[in-house]
Amino acid sequence: MSDHSSSTLAHHFDSHEQQREASTVGMWAFLVTEIMFFGGLFLAYVLYRSRYPQTFADASNHLNVIWGGVNTVVLIASSLTMALAVRAAQLANRKTIVLMLILTLVLGCVFLGIKAVEYKEKFDHHLVPGKNFQYDGANGQKAQIFFSLYFAMTGLHAVHMVIGAGLLIWMIVLAHKGVFTAEYHNHIENVGLYWHFVDIVWIFLFPLLYLLGFHVGH
């Protein structure tokens, strides 16, 4: 009936297939909650952008499109390496799994590093909302809403990246130990799903936040 002798099959499941399917469905259900979680901030952004289009465009031009663009490339590349890591897990290719996961982690750290540089720049220019906010253009209050949303959205995204980095480290350790087989690698698949989701959030954040006022010029 079931291979309960295998320690990788939990007692309440009848087969590895059932366990894997349950794991995937669960992860997707969780990602739906993440979609709705970020969704609230996107709604706020869309609303205020349509309300204060000029101010938002001006404020957006204080963001560095090059940094944003590089980060987009970096994150998409990390999605590629993540997909290749999962593929290696499907083929039980231990060395490749570890290599791809490490590459994904490195790229993720590059992303976070660039974000740190961007945030520092904002801090230096008094563009962090709160007591020290100083805006050099018109409608400082409305611009502060832009920056509030910028920091909230990219900040929340960055928190998810940090969590993702932690998950990747955990996966690297497990993969290195040879825990994963062709039959049992739910963890990596799920971390992969999570990582791709975080990439998708950025795919929307980049044009919305950075490219908004691009045509207006700096």
> Residue 143: how many CA atoms within 13 Å on its side-chain side?
21
Residues 83-112 that bind another protein (CB under 8 A): 83-84, 87, 90-91
Cα distance between the two ends of the chain: 68
What is the total count of residues that contact another protein (CB under 8 A)? Answer: 74
Return the residue of 8, 61, 64, 65 that touches another protein, per CB under 8 A: 65
Let me know the angle formed at the C-alpha of 144 by 142 and 145, rounded to the nearest 5 degrees: 65
Contact flag: residue 166 with another protein (CB under 8 A): no
Contact flag: residue 72 with another protein (CB under 8 A): yes
Let me know the angle formed at the C-alpha of 112 by 107 and 117, rounded to the nearest 5 degrees: 125
Choices 82-90, 109-117, 160-168, 173-181 (CB under 8 A): range interacting with another protein = 82-90
**CB-based burial, 72-111: b 16+ in 10 Å, e otherwise:** bebbebbbebbebbbebbeeebbebbbbbbbbbbebbbbb
Contact flag: residue 123 with another protein (CB under 8 A): no
Contact flag: residue 37 with another protein (CB under 8 A): yes
Residues 43-62 that bind another protein (CB under 8 A): 43-44, 46-48, 50, 52
Closest distance between another protein and the C-beta of residue 116, in Å? 19
Contact flag: residue 39 with another protein (CB under 8 A): yes
Contact flag: residue 26 with another protein (CB under 8 A): yes
Residues contacting 184, CB < 8 A, separation 6+? 8, 16, 20
Distance in angstroms (rounded) separating the CA atoms of residues 191 and 170:
10
Site string for another protein, 177-206 (x = CB under 8 A): ---------------xx--xx-xx--xx-x
Distance in angstroms (rounded) separating the CA atoms of residues 115 and 160:
13
Return the residue of 6, 134, 141, 181 that touches another protein, per CB under 8 A: 141
